[in-house]
Amino acid sequence: MNELAYLKDLVIILAFAVVVVAVFHRLKLPAIAGFILSGLLVGPEGLGLINDAHKVEVLAEIGVALLLFGIGSELPLSKLQRLWKLAAVGGVLQVGLSALVSFAVCRAAGIEDRAAVIIGFVVALSSTALVLRGLQQRGEVDAPHGRLILGILVFQDFAVVPIMLVLPLLVGASIETGAFALTLAKSAGLVVVILLLAMLIVPRVLKLVARTRQRQLFILAVFVICLGTAWLVTQSGASLAIGAFLAGLVVAGSEYRHQALADMISFREVFASLFFVSIGMLLSPAAILDNLVTITAILGGILLGKALIVFVTAFVMRMPLRVSLIAALALAQVGEFSFILLHAIKGTGLITPSLESSLISAAILSMFITPFLMSYGPRLAAGLGRFHHLSRLLEIHTAQEAPDAVCKTCDHVIVAGYGFAGRELSHTLDQHNVPYVVVDLNIENVRRASKETGNAVYGDITSEEVLRHLGIQNARELVLLVNDPTAAEHAVRIARSLAPDLFILARTHYLLDIKRLLSVGADEVIPAEREAAVQVATQLLKRHSVDAPLISAQAEHIRGHTEDNGH
């Protein structure tokens, strides 16, 4: 009967989640907020349909593990190398400043030192599961603000391990400094050994399993690698979620990572949804009403304080205004690892029950608000960008510093983004003596473009002032090759208002973006999805010896069909 009761709870949770998230989708509200609200409704403090939250927490922990495994598997070593500076500098500044400011505020409020340190750690961490889920849904992981956010989150995830090891000292356990250092060294050594063994064994295991061509066996092997490596890492004192993240990093170095990720998506989505539902089940409307002033003060302090700290961190790292603001709003909440820290000190008496309850309520509410902040962040950033003096102060090294020749050039092409497509386009324009200027938010791309073309500036393409300095009113074409769909939309809208006759060509990843970009003024939108479909069909038809005119006709048919779908 217990198994059937467990199944009943699961059906109730998923049924409520389907209904609530469907309503939220209709209202154009974030799905994650819908999951949290579903948890509140079915939980013991809501309608009381689920009274044992512990059952859900077990599944939710697996969900977080699978989610972080997926995130880790999308971070091959090459991408981590590009993120290390953002993680090292941004992570240290954000975590350090957040913990220090929280500690100072707690001490000013009369909270004793050890409790203030723990609260500082709790507040410093953000939600990897929540924020990266939002970035992935919006296609912004590779955007400039996405890279900054990911770098800081990666540092936070690794920082949890030493924080967990410090907790025994804070709760009063008698641990000598030497013993603590030895424990820390052993833990680090264990993690390194496990990862090295995994890197040597996992690719071989996946290769052997892949040769069987049994999809079920491959899925089972991926589950064993994910949860097995995660469990082994927990023996060092780290959490299951961190272990799963490290397991994902191991799989990321394998040639089978794409298949592993594809096979895990369905399981990951279901279990991760349970995590957000479990967070909602911790909310108590009665407790919020009883301590409304305290919870509101804590919530406001968390959101405003962390947002300001992340903004300052981005400023110190010489990030532009748009990137700084979007990252600040995305990382302003308290994360899932914070609940792990609070659970670890439960019963020690360091934090009073009333303060702990208020802190948990404020943390959950901050997570509920975050999807809305992430949705409206780009609009706020666009509005803030109109304050030119502020933009000039914060956007160090922008197009304003470009030579006068850039501003006075006529009939030139503005190439926004210097990734692979931007680089190839620039070289093509060079070969045909077409004047152009490259603009990018990635300083490494700007340095490469300056070295290779001599016509590159650092700037935010969504800034009206940057576009004016690039000579938008005298330009012939604007080509948008950025990985941020929201930024592309804002750039098109502003460029069209400044230069009504300008030809605007935008590249996007998905067909769904076509209609939106055309509606704000783009002349032509090229979705990567469509061109991939054209290339796949073309290559296969060539192998079947189909005549070239028929292949061309089929390619045009696909383009026309996808344009109809996009419109």
d(Cα 108, Cα 95) in Å, to the nearest integer?
20
d(Cα 567, Cα 555) in Å, to the nearest integer?
18
What is the percentage of the chain residues whose pLDDT exceeds 90? 11
Phi then psi dihedrals of residue 132, to 5 deg: -70, -30
Same domain, 452 and 316: no
Q: What is the pLDDT of residue 401?
A: 47
d(Cα 71, Cα 336) in Å, to the nearest integer?
15
Same domain, 445 and 372: no
* Nearby residues of 330 by Cβ (< 8 Å), 6 or more positions away: 131, 134, 135, 145, 149, 370, 373, 374, 377
Average pLDDT on 408-429 reads: 85
**Does the structure show a pLDDT above 90 at 220?**
no
Give the end of a domain, one of 384, 407, 434: 384
Is 204 domain-assigned? yes
Q: What is the pLDDT of residue 208?
A: 83
Query: Both tokens of residue 125?
Result: 């961490």
The helix or strand, by DSSP H or E, that contains position 414, with its residue range, turns out to be strand 413-416
Is 422 domain-assigned? yes
Q: How confident is the model at residue 78 (pLDDT cuts 50, 70, 90)?
A: low
Is 443 domain-assigned? yes
d(Cα 486, Cα 484) in Å, to the nearest integer?
6
Pairing of strands 477-480, 456-458: unpaired
Same domain, 353 and 483: no
Give the end of a domain, one of 318, 349, 384: 384
**Does the structure show a pLDDT above 90 at 201?**
no
Q: Of the spans 106-120, 402-416, 520-534, which averages the highest pLDDT?
A: 106-120
Same domain, 350 and 431: no
Same domain, 419 and 517: yes
Same domain, 318 and 418: no
Q: What is the pLDDT of residue 93?
A: 92
Is 559 domain-assigned? yes
What is the percentage of the chain residues whose pLDDT exceeds 70? 79
Same domain, 428 and 528: yes
Query: Both tokens of residue 482?
Result: 């950025």
Average pLDDT on 79-99 reads: 83
Cα Dmax for the chain? 81
Q: What is the pLDDT of residue 561?
A: 62
- Mean pLDDT lowest among 12-16, 246-250, 284-288, 486-490: 246-250
Number of structural domains found in the chain: 2
Is 143 domain-assigned? yes
pLDDT digits (tens, 9 = 90+) for 342-397: 877 777 778 888 888 888 889 888 988 888 888 777 767 655 555 555 444 444 44
DSSP 455-492: -EEE--TT-HHHHHHTTTTT-SEEEE--S-HHHHHHHH
**Does the structure show a pLDDT above 70 at 222?**
yes
Q: What is the pLDDT of residue 280?
A: 81
Give the end of a domain, one of 384, 407, 423: 384
Same domain, 462 and 380: no
Q: What is the pLDDT of residue 179?
A: 60
CATH number of the domain enclosing 154: 1.20.1530.20
Same domain, 313 and 455: no
Is 390 domain-assigned? no
pLDDT digits (tens, 9 = 90+) for 36-62: 888 888 888 778 787 766 666 666 677
Same domain, 226 and 108: yes
Same domain, 323 and 408: no
Q: How confident is the model at residue 399 (pLDDT cuts 50, 70, 90)?
A: very low
Same domain, 90 and 216: yes
Q: What is the pLDDT of residue 101?
A: 94
Contact 329, 307 (CB under 8 A): yes
Q: What is the domain range of residue 365? A: 2-384
Q: How confident is the model at residue 248 (pLDDT cuts 50, 70, 90)?
A: confident
More confident residue, 492 or 163: 492
d(Cα 404, Cα 411) in Å, to the nearest integer?
15
CATH number of the domain enclosing 554: 3.40.50.720
489-526 as b/e, with b when 16 or more CB fall inside 10 Å? bbbbbbbbeebeebebbbbbeebebbebbbebbbeebb
Is 391 domain-assigned? no
**Size of the chain in residues:** 567
Query: Both tokens of residue 367?
Result: 């997570």
More confident residue, 398 or 151: 151
- Output Rg (C-alpha) for the chain, integer angstroms: 26
Query: Average model confidence (pLDDT) for the chain?
Result: 78
